[in-house]
Structure 1
Amino acid sequence: MNWLDAIENKKTWNSIFGESLPTETRINIVLLRGDSVSIRAFGPLEGMTYPEKWDKKGFNAFEFEVLLHGVDMISSENNHLFGKFSILINIPEIIIETETGCLFRCHAKGASILNIDGFYDEQV
């Protein structure tokens, strides 16, 4: 099971990317709000299925937000929560590990994906 299988609104992802998954994703920002955690991430479009209009616009990367809601426990070791990451979502447990050595864990009632958009990234 990949992380996307645990997303409540997986159809949102599938409507844009089909079943394709990124080879690499990076955390841009993590926000704690009330009983939710918002993880904003981005990655290259290389090897993925994506809308033709993104290709016409010259997009080579995409960004998205994973919203964890109903969060009642958070723990973090080595608080460098940025850069390349892997995520395991097995509700209620969510585990994020980053290339910087951060291990972020939380318990949540659910996870959704929001704000998917393409863009041009000079570093890709």
Structure 2
Amino acid sequence: MYTVKINFEQKGLDPVILTNIESDQSLLEVCLDNNIELHHNCGAVCACSTCHLYVNKGTELIEEISDKEEDFIDRAVNPRIESRLGCQCILLSGNGGGEIEVTLPDQTQFLGE
């Protein structure tokens, strides 16, 4: 089981800590299942960059980045070395879980919010 801490760049949103998160799901799915908005215009198939997030801790607990994902991260707003796409960050199974910490960029830049 995993613990996922979600920080927000958007002003007025406090960090959220999610516990007892099971493996074999993406960080995008974890967010959506817990009513945390993370845009995903392509439907979570690694064809855009709207589910862009920053993995601050626990990169060893998620699937490695692919070349395709890297290409789309280059198109994201404010990419950093710790940038990933939430739809591609699958929580690994068989390692006993652990702690992951991510930061969601300000989502107000999308869809005229």
Task: Tell me whether the two structures share a fold, i.e. TM-score over 0.5.
Answer: no
User: Which structure carries more helix by proportion?
Assistant: 2
The TM-score normalised by the length of structure 1 is 0.30
User: Which structure carries more strand by proportion?
Assistant: 1
Higher Rg: 1
The TM-score normalised by the length of structure 2 is 0.32
